[in-house]
Amino acid sequence: MTGRDVLIIVFEGVQSLDVTGPLEVFTGAGPGAYRVVTAGPDGTPVRTSSGLTLVPDLDLSAAPPPDTVVVPGGEGTRSNDPAVVDWLRRHAPRTRRVASVCSGAFLLAEAGLLAGRRATTHWRMCASLARRYQDVEVDPQPISSATGRSPPRRASRPASTWRWRWSRRTSGGRSRWRSPGIW
């Protein structure tokens, strides 16, 4: 994977909106702006928390570190899938940007990537994240937080606003997205 490659990790029980929202953000940035692929723990289809079947583009174990990795949330984060956590531990440190959507923050924390960092998640899960991962500074107030080289870890941000903020942070003004509420 090269410069503008984005990898969205999918797994059993992932929240479909947490996959499709970021997918729309990146593909909506304009033709050729990003190359987006999905990868699952063994490359086989996964069922989302709503029952939708997603077919990943790649087997996660064979996926090289991308420029940006997005870790969606959903009920499936509770399992701390060992293949996902291991891949994150090994590859995320060599990835320029790491983002999680909603409860995807739990997978980043399990992989040790949020230790000593400020992070947020869905407001209903902030106390649980803080209890389970005491080395993470959980901030329940913001809808997103950005630390170090990482872009916002979005909590329950509408996709249009997330798209607008992400494009402002990463496009150097070249994105076609101009306003958070206008499509």
**Active-site residue numbers?**
102
Distance CA 32, CA 23 (A): 14
Distance CA 170, CA 59 (A): 27
Provide the 3-class DSSP secondary structure of residue 73: coil
Distance CA 15, CA 11 (A): 9
Provide the 3-class DSSP secondary structure of residue 79: helix
Contact status, residue 6 vs residue 25, Cβ threshold 8 Å: no
Provide the 3-class DSSP secondary structure of residue 20: helix
Residue among 170, 172, 160, 175 at smallest CA distance from 29 = 175
Residue 100 phi, psi dihedral angles, 5° rounding: -125, 155
Residue among 47, 41, 55 at smallest CA distance from 9 = 41
